[in-house]
């Protein structure tokens, strides 16, 4: 049991730690100290649900419907490339983050970045779901480890961002973060097209 939990924890962390659009939003909200508990809860609960679906075998069932996968691929590619363009635009015109500014729509943005991002489905439903099959009857313990990794990561990122708020509140720092996010999400979107 412990081996399955630790394997799920390690695999989950290896997939979630890459700073993409969702993680950048959690980091940004942490720096701003706005709606952090809500954003962390949405991200962690969404991951938990998707991991449970993957461990339960939904990923295998989806593989039988290539039309659904094709639609998700194209919609996801468009979403990621569009988000990459927005990140580049923010990097070109960086601004200091201001506490109290722009809190409207944070929940909707968080939900969109979570549920419209095909990378989330690939990581949680397909990859973690497939990896869990190697643990047989203990696959749910593997899933529990992955859920723990997700909750720990989003909590550390959102609530830990306060300690970095001095550095990350500067426009130059967000220029670097936004360019990194743009590179990751655009490359992922282009890879879905190719």
What average pLDDT does range 4-28 have in this prediction? 84
Structural domain that includes position 176: 2-193
Q: How many domains does the chain have?
A: 1
Global confidence as pTM: 0.77
Helix (H, G, I), strand (E, B) or coil at 35: coil
Look up residue 175 and give its two tokens.
Answer: 């220029």
101 pLDDT band, cuts 50/70/90, is very low
Q: What angle do CA 149, 41, 138 make, to 5 degrees?
A: 35
Residue 102 in this model has a pLDDT that exceeds 70: no
């Amino acid at each position: 049991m412990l081996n399955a939990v630790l394997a799920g924890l390690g695999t989950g962390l290896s997939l979630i730690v890459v700073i993409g659009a969702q993680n950048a939003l959690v980091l940004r909200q942490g720096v701003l100290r706005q709606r952090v508990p809500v954003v962390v809860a949405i991200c962690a609960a969404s991951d938990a649900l998707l991991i449970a679906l993957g461990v339960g075998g939904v990923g295998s069932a989806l593989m039988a419907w290539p039309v659904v996968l094709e639609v998700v691929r194209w919609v996801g590619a468009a979403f990621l490339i569009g988000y990459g363009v927005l990140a580049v635009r923010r990097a070109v015109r960086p601004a200091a983050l201001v506490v109290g500014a722009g809190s409207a729509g944070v929940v909707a943005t968080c939900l969109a970045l979570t549920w419209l991002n095909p990378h989330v489905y690939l990581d949680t439903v397909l990859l973690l779901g497939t990896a869990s099959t190697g643990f047989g009857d203990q696959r749910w313990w593997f899933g529990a480890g992955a859920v723990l990794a997700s909750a720990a990561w989003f909590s550390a990122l959102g609530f830990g961002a306060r300690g970095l708020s001095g550095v990350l509140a500067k426009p130059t720092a967000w220029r670097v973060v936004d360019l990194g996010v743009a590179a990751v999400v655009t490359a992922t979107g282009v890879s879905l097209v190719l």
